[in-house]
């Protein structure tokens, strides 16, 4: 997966607007969860 910054920029570009604070927080939670799960799979 891309870095969080790239994910954020791509999401905003696709939506055509900046994300609200709660949307950024949710996206960050999803990204952190994904990276944690990937580390467990690759361990």
| pLDDT value, residue 15 | 98
Number of domains, the chain: 1
Residue 10 CA to residue 14 CA, distance in Å, equals: 6
The H or E element containing residue 13 is helix 4-15
User: In whole angstroms, how far apart are CA 10 and each of 7, 13, 41?
Assistant: 5, 5, 26
Average pLDDT over residues 22-38: 96
Res 34: pLDDT? 93
What confidence tier does 33 reach under pLDDT thresholds 50, 70, 90? very high
Question: Would you say residue 4 has pLDDT above 80?
Answer: yes
Reply yes or no on whether the pLDDT at 1 is more than 70: no
Asked if 40 and 24 touch (Cβ cutoff 8 Å), the reply is no
Distance CA 15, CA 39 (A): 29
Task: Tell me how far apart the alpha carbons of residues 39 and 17 are, in angstroms, rounded to a whole number.
Answer: 32
């Amino acid at each position: 997966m891309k870095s969080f910054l790239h994910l954020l920029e791509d999401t905003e570009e696709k939506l055509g607007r900046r994300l609200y604070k709660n949307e950024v927080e949710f996206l960050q939670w999803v990204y952190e969860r994904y990276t944690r799960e990937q580390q467990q799979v690759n361990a």
